[in-house]
Amino acid sequence: MNAPKYNPNELLISIASRLMEDNATCFIGTGIPMLAASLAQKMHAPNLISMFEFGGIGAQLEKLPLAVGDMRTFNKGLVAAGICDIMEAGQCGFVDYGFLGGAQIDMYGNLNSTIIGGDHDKPKVRLPGSGGGNDVGSTCWKTIIIMQHGKRRFMPKIDFITTPGYLSGPGAREEAGLPPNTGPYRVVTDLCTLGFDKKSKRMKLLALNPGITINDVVENTGFELIIPGKIEQNDGPSVEELRILREEVDQDRYYI
Amino acid sequence: MKVISSGIGELIQPPDMNAFREWNRTKKTKALIDKRMSEQEAVSKYLKDGHYIGIELYGTVRAPMSLTREIVRQGYKNLNCAGQGVYESELLVAANVVKKLDWTYIGFEVYGLSNSARRAVESGFIEKVVEWSNAALTWRFKAAAMGVPFIPTRVMLGTDTFKYSAAKVVECPFTGDKLCLLPALILDVGFIHVHRADKYGNCQIDGISGFAAEMARASKRLIISAEEIVDEDVIRSQPDRTIIPYYLVDAVVEAPFGSHPGEMTCLYERDEQHIKNYATDSKDELLVKDYLNKWIYGVQNHKEYLDLVGTKKLDSMRIDGGVR
């Protein structure tokens, strides 16, 4: 049988969803994480507990939320609370995974979603800001970053550290006062899946998406990546994943 | 307690907890009086140019949009604002109402950046932007609601978000850990939209409560809009549902579809076409002016606004049988 055709967002969503574990709490942000969480619930993680910024906990994600505070974020949910309940759960260590995006990322997984170019008071481009990003990157046990790959996004020095990755390297999070044993865990892109080296905290290549070479990844990354000897291969979306995405998760095609 | 480092951002609204206590003692009546009034009366009575305001929840979800439009309509020019928003922040910024912002998120979620906020910041029209995280801004309200001048937290540490905030890193006197202290944020006027309130201002919200509880308690003046004004008996039959007690409230405005074009849990869905059209048009400053002229300056009040939206449209947004 021929492999099914899919678009780049369908690939990103499928790969991100496979990282979501059953019986884990996941802080879900706008966009692709919402679709990935919904797909994961329908595939392998029926008891994936979604946590949305403004108070929705444990929704059954039958219809795609369009906002992190909309009523779908607590559809048949366990709790409809407020922003403090979510953020304080994170601070107390109850949130296993946090999903984040950003405009720029560096080799330590620090993220920028505040400004591009210029300086803070006179930026070239003003972006939406931290929102819950900094809170998630500071307090969740493992953060998973979803981004499009490219040299203008994967940069040696980002214009503003909105959300902490490993900051300046080993020990820097702890030195800054962030809770121990937290930090970026995976970066999922349209080209590959990346992780972080245990010792140096630098980004390293883990798995390539279908049809992508190591060279493609290196050429689209603005800093030196760690390339280990053994690199896995990510499968594209399966027939079943695509069916659920198209027929159930995003029928109205907001993202796919 | 040793201060290790300080953010370089301006503390736009320095907290004075004793003055806040005194205010609450002398300016907030505990008498059960009828506080119902129109948007026009409530805003003109309590909001003065130069005030610092906050708007809960955020633009596409249970936000007091009829009050937001009234703020724009009345032509304020010099407000400071807690920027945690979508549509409501966008409109305030688009109408050049805001001069200083404590900023955590201003954008359009699914539809991307806030074009008006971009223009206002990049052109320097907004004089000061101070950075915070979402939790930080809400915890600043929480500190005020607790009656204390700051709250210790574990966010923003080590980042530029901290550097451009007005927070401080200190050494914890109990554990020795580094903590990020957030200053209490007391609003001159807070605006919150709820499902139901009685005429005294006791309020109930269905679904997620966002930061309503914290912000209500951090506001020197609190203006409530409600989908429905109910009898006191309705409140008294389920007092556990009351999230905002009447003595925090200064004005109660009846505003059915008050969150339009945003949604209201259990009552109506959001007006997707309206939001999408605006998000697209907002790339062009002239189209934003057209929008403001049509939907805000061109109507006298919320009733005329709803007439402009049209009954057919509003009816199509209703959720039958309160589906959640």
What pLDDT, on a 0 to 100 scale, did the predictor assign at position A152?
97
The reply to whether residue A122 touches residue B124, judged by beta carbons under 8 angstroms, is yes
Q: Out of A10, A21, A53, A232, which one is annotated catalytic? A: A53
Q: What is the mean pLDDT of residues A127-156?
A: 97
The reply to whether residue A134 touches residue B103, judged by beta carbons under 8 angstroms, is no
A116 three-class SS: strand
Residues in Cβ contact with B146 at an 8 Å cutoff, skipping those fewer than 6 apart: none
What tokens were used for A29?
């942000």
* Residue of chain B minimizing CA distance to A65: B110
Q: What is the mean pLDDT of residues A211-238?
A: 98
CB atoms within 10 A of CB B170: 20
B5–A contact, CB cutoff 8 A: no
Q: What is the dihedral of CA B254, B260, B264, B268, to 10 degrees?
A: 110
B58–A contact, CB cutoff 8 A: yes
**Domain layout of chain A by residue ranges:** 8-249
**A30 CA: distance to closest CA in chain B (Å):** 7
CB atoms within 10 A of CB A223: 15
What pLDDT, on a 0 to 100 scale, did the predictor assign at position B324?
38
Q: How far apart are alpha carbons A78 and B312 in whole angstroms? A: 34
CB atoms within 10 A of CB B150: 19
Q: For an interface test with A, which of B134, B177, B268 has the most A Cβ atoms less than 10 Å from its Cβ? A: B134
Q: What is the mean pLDDT of residues A131-142?
A: 97
Q: How far apart are alpha carbons A231 and A249 in whole angstroms? A: 31
Angle CA B201–B210–B138, to nearest 5 = 100
Residue A187 has pLDDT above 80, yes or no: yes
* Residue of chain A minimizing CA distance to B164: A120
- Counting residues of chain A whose pLDDT is more than 70, the rounded percentage is 99
**Domain layout of chain B by residue ranges:** 3-322
A196 DSSP β-pair partners: A203
CB atoms within 10 A of CB A180: 8
The reply to whether residue B121 touches residue A67, judged by beta carbons under 8 angstroms, is no
Return phi, psi of residue A18, to 5°: -70, -20
Q: E strands along A108-238, which residues?
A: 111-112, 115-119, 122-126, 142-146, 183-188, 192-196, 203-208, 232-233
- Counting residues of chain B whose pLDDT is more than 70, the rounded percentage is 99
What tokens were used for A247?
């027929």
The reply to whether residue B154 touches residue A84, judged by beta carbons under 8 angstroms, is no
Residue B322 has pLDDT above 60, yes or no: no
Known active-site residue A53: yes
Locate tokens 């865990």: which residue? A185
- Report the relative pairing of strands B3-6 and B168-171 from DSSP bridges: antiparallel
Angle subtended by helix axes B65-73 and B87-94, to nearest 10: 0
Q: What is the mean pLDDT of residues A137-158?
A: 97
**B287 CA: distance to closest CA in chain A (Å):** 20
* Chain segment B57-66, per-residue pLDDT in tens: 987 999 999 9
Residues in Cβ contact with A198 at an 8 Å cutoff, skipping those fewer than 6 apart: none
B113–A contact, CB cutoff 8 A: yes
The reply to whether residue B156 touches residue A121, judged by beta carbons under 8 angstroms, is no
pLDDT tier at A2 (50, 70, 90 boundaries)? low
Nearest to B142 by CA among B49, B210, B50, B223: B210
The reply to whether residue B155 touches residue A125, judged by beta carbons under 8 angstroms, is no
| A148 exposure class (CB count in 10 Å sphere: 0-12, 13-18, 19+) | middle
Residue B29 has pLDDT above 70, yes or no: yes
Q: Following DSSP, what letter does each residue of B188-225 receive, concatenated?
A: EEEEEEEEEE-TT--EE--S--BTHHHHHTTEEEEEEE
B256–A contact, CB cutoff 8 A: no
Q: Are A245 and A14 in contact (CB under 8 A)?
A: yes
Q: How far apart are alpha carbons A255 and A8 in whole angstroms? A: 10
**B220 CA: distance to closest CA in chain A (Å):** 21
Judging contacts by C-beta atoms under 8 Å, the chain A residues touching residue B158 are: 161, 164, 167, 172-173, 175-178
The reply to whether residue B208 touches residue A69, judged by beta carbons under 8 angstroms, is yes
CB nearest A131 (choices: B61, B105, B110): B105
Q: For an interface test with B, which of A105, A138, A140, A161 has the most B Cβ atoms less than 10 Å from its Cβ? A: A138
Instruction: Specify the range with the lowest mean pLDDT, choosing from B64-68, B82-86, B87-91.
Output: B82-86
What pLDDT, on a 0 to 100 scale, did the predictor assign at position B109?
85
**B266 CA: distance to closest CA in chain A (Å):** 8
Judging contacts by C-beta atoms under 8 Å, the chain A residues touching residue B114 are: 128
Residue A1 has pLDDT above 60, yes or no: no
Q: Are A205 and A223 in contact (CB under 8 A)?
A: no
What tokens were used for A187?
């970066």
The reply to whether residue B208 touches residue A130, judged by beta carbons under 8 angstroms, is no
Return phi, psi of residue B86, to 5°: -125, -100
Judging contacts by C-beta atoms under 8 Å, the chain A residues touching residue B105 are: 128-132
Residue A211 has pLDDT above 90, yes or no: yes
B229–A contact, CB cutoff 8 A: no
A203 DSSP β-pair partners: A196
Q: What is the dihedral of CA B64, B66, B67, B72, to 10 degrees?
A: 120
The reply to whether residue B158 touches residue A164, judged by beta carbons under 8 angstroms, is yes
Residue A3 has pLDDT above 80, yes or no: no
Q: E strands along chain B, which residues?
A: 3-6, 52-55, 79-85, 98-106, 128-131, 150-153, 168-171, 178-183, 187-197, 203-204, 219-229, 242-244, 251-254
The reply to whether residue A82 touches residue B211, judged by beta carbons under 8 angstroms, is yes
* Chain segment A53-112, per-residue pLDDT in tens: 999 999 999 888 888 899 999 999 999 999 999 999 999 999 999 999 899 999 999 999
| B180 exposure class (CB count in 10 Å sphere: 0-12, 13-18, 19+) | buried
Q: How far apart are alpha carbons A160 and A153 in whole angstroms? A: 12
Judging contacts by C-beta atoms under 8 Å, the chain B residues touching residue A176 are: 157-158, 178
What pLDDT, on a 0 to 100 scale, did the predictor assign at position B15?
98
Residue B132 has pLDDT above 80, yes or no: yes
* Chain segment B104-127, per-residue pLDDT in tens: 999 988 888 899 999 999 999 999
* Chain segment B278-307, per-residue pLDDT in tens: 999 999 999 999 999 999 999 999 999 999
What tokens were used for A170?
């080993």
- Radius of gyration of chain B measured on its C-alpha atoms: 20
Residue B83 has pLDDT above 90, yes or no: no
CATH topology of domain A8-249: Glutaconate Coenzyme A-transferase (3.40.1080)
* Chain segment B139-161, per-residue pLDDT in tens: 999 999 999 999 999 999 999 99
Judging contacts by C-beta atoms under 8 Å, the chain B residues touching residue A75 are: 324
Residue B13 has pLDDT above 90, yes or no: yes
pLDDT tier at B267 (50, 70, 90 boundaries)? very high
Output the average pLDDT for chain A. Answer: 96
The reply to whether residue B133 touches residue A75, judged by beta carbons under 8 angstroms, is no
B214–A contact, CB cutoff 8 A: yes
pLDDT tier at A256 (50, 70, 90 boundaries)? confident
For residue B73, give Cα distances in angstroms to A129, A199, B65, B176, B279. Answer: 27, 58, 12, 51, 20
Return phi, psi of residue A58, to 5°: 70, 40
Residue A30 has pLDDT above 90, yes or no: no
Class of domain B3-322: alpha beta
Q: Are B55 and B85 in contact (CB under 8 A)?
A: yes
Nearest to B246 by CA among B313, B314, B194, B209: B194
A244 three-class SS: helix
> What is the enclosing helix (H) or strand (E) of A52?
strand A49-52
pLDDT tier at B321 (50, 70, 90 boundaries)? low
